[in-house]
Amino acid sequence: MTIHKKFKFFLRIKLDFPSYKVIALFFFLLSTLLAGCSNQGEKAIDIDLTNRSYTEVRSNSPDSSDVIYFGFDRRLETKEDVKMYVPLLKYLEKETGYNFKIHVTPVKSSVVEELGQGKIQMAAIGTLGYLQASENYGAVITVKGLNIEDKDRYKAAIVARPDSPIMRISDIRGQSFAFGDPTSTQGHLIPRIMLSQKGIEMSSLKYYQNFASHSEVANAVMSGRFDAGGIQDTLAKSLETDGLLKIVAVSEEYPSSGIAFSKGVSGDVVSRITQALIKFDPEGEEKVGLYHWERSEMRHGFTQANDEDYNTLRNWADKFGLLKKVDGEIN
């Protein structure tokens, strides 16, 4: 059955069908859709929350000015990220009255670029991605995520295989290293800070490579292709508990991921969505409809963010040359 036929089948479901079964079926079909897209090279996909339909993006701009396109940094598998964010957008639709579509950024692009180009109007984005989008495109951040301890800060971890001789960061000199996406804070910027603080720069490594998500970095280390890697601390703890990786070091705390808006979004829209985000309570009445929200960087919801919160990381990113746009790309 083709993807289009699967969604037509879904749309034929009677309205009196139990809502929880409709949601479950939607997520099953959505998983199938995204798995198919992965096999086709991760094309950009827009998913309509109202009609449960999708379109492959073929233009440089959204097809409707009254739709707010939401993008996200890849953290887990794409289909899992989407399933996690869909209930949040449904909540925002209810609270604001706006129409949202979730946008899957293709692997050859980035959330930063798409915010700058206006392909998406808002995004769940890491600190480094925000700093790059702010520096080059005038993006603004209004909320930060609250973790399980109700802190608006997060950490990164450097990991290795359980049987690896690497016991501390200094042991990584001359070894291979897997980083997350170049715009990732926990997967790229913070691990670079951790290495640099121990006198290990990129030139000190045997070789290194960037991957699209934390799970890909973890797989690269677990498979033995890389000696060590940098990922979010929550995933690292989970994998260590399962005996799949060991944590070599955990970073200090830095301001967490948040929600950023494109420069072109009106102040009234930003304000209304921000108020709804701060009101969002994943441990309250919204909890029932969420999908593994505990995997997000906003486990306990959101709090107000200010640009000044990110000055320390901004200075490190500037030192590493990660903020400036050169020849159409951000270094």
Q: Which class for 161: exposed (0-12), middle (13-18), buried (19 or more C-beta within 10 A)?
A: middle
- Pairwise CA distance, residues 178 & 304, whole Å: 32
pLDDT of 14 reads 34
Give pLDDT, residue 297. 79
162: which DSSP letter?
A: T
Residue 101's alpha-carbon distances to 28, 31, 171, 179, in angstroms, are 18, 16, 45, 30
Burial zone of 1 (CB within 10 Å; 0-12 exposed, 13-18 middle, 19+ buried): exposed
Structure tokens at 207: 């070789």
Neighbours of 77 (CB within 10 A): 16
pLDDT at residue 3 in the model: 40
User: pLDDT value at position 65?
Assistant: 59
Please state which of the four CATH numbers 3.40.190.10, 2.40.50.140, 3.40.50.300, 3.90.1170.50 is assigned to the domain occupying 3-151+255-330: 3.40.190.10
Output the pLDDT for position 107: 75
**What is the structure's pLDDT at 40?**
38
Q: Which residues of the chain have pLDDT under 50?
A: 1-41, 50-64, 326-328
CA distances from 288 to 54, 177, 284 (A): 25, 40, 8
Q: Taking every pair of C-alpha atoms in the chain, what is the biggest distance, in angstroms?
A: 63
Contact status, residue 70 vs residue 123, Cβ threshold 8 Å = yes
The residues spanned by each domain of the chain are: 3-151+255-330, 156-252
User: Whole-structure pTM over 0.85, yes or no?
Assistant: no
The reported pLDDT for the residue numbered 329 is 53
The pLDDT assigned to 330 comes to: 61
For the CA atoms of 11, 17, 21, 25, the dihedral, rounded to the nearest 10 degrees, stands at: -20
- pLDDT, position 325: 64
Phi-psi region of 243 (alpha: psi -120 to 50; beta: other; left: phi over 0): left
pLDDT at 69: 97
The answer to whether 3-151+255-330 and 156-252 have equal CATH topology is: yes
pLDDT of residue 276: 98
Q: Are 281 and 88 in contact (CB under 8 A)?
A: no
| DSSP per-residue codes, 88-114 | HHHHHHHHH--EEEEEE--TTS-HHHH
Domain 156-252: CATH superfamily, name plus number: Periplasmic binding protein-like II (3.40.190.10)
